A and B are shown apart, each in its own frame.
Chain A
Amino acid sequence: DGGITQSPKYLFRKEGQNVTLSCEQNLNHDAMYWYRQDPGQGLRLIYYSQIVNDFQKGDIAEGYSVSREKKESFPLTVTSAQKNPTAFYLCASSPNRADGANVLTFGAGSRLTVL
Chain B
Amino acid sequence: GENVEQHPSTLSVQEGDSAVIKCTYSDSASNYFPWYKQELGKGPQLIIDIRSNVGEKKDQRIAVTLNKTAKHFSLHITETQPEDSAVYFCAGDSNYQLIWGAGTKLIIKP
Contacts and interface: CB of A to CB of B under 8 A. Distances in A.
Given A42-B103, A43-B89, A109-B43, A102 B9 contact: no
A48 interface: yes
Contacts of A90: 43-44
A99 interface: yes
A101 B93 contact: yes
A35 to B, nearest CB: 8
Interface residues of B, number: 24
Interface string B29-51: 00110101000011111100101
Interface size class of chain A, counting residues whose CB lies under 8 Å from the partner chain = 20 to 34
A102 B32 CA distance: 9
Given A40-B9, A42-B103, A43-B89, A100 B44 contact: no
Contacts of B31: 99-101
Interface of B: 4, 6, 9, 31-32, 34, 36, 41-46, 49, 51, 89, 93, 96-98, 100-103
B49 A101 contact: yes
Nearest to B89: A42
A100 B100 contact: no
B49 to A, nearest CB: 7
Given A42-B4, A99-B31, A104 B46 contact: yes
A46 B68 CA distance: 29
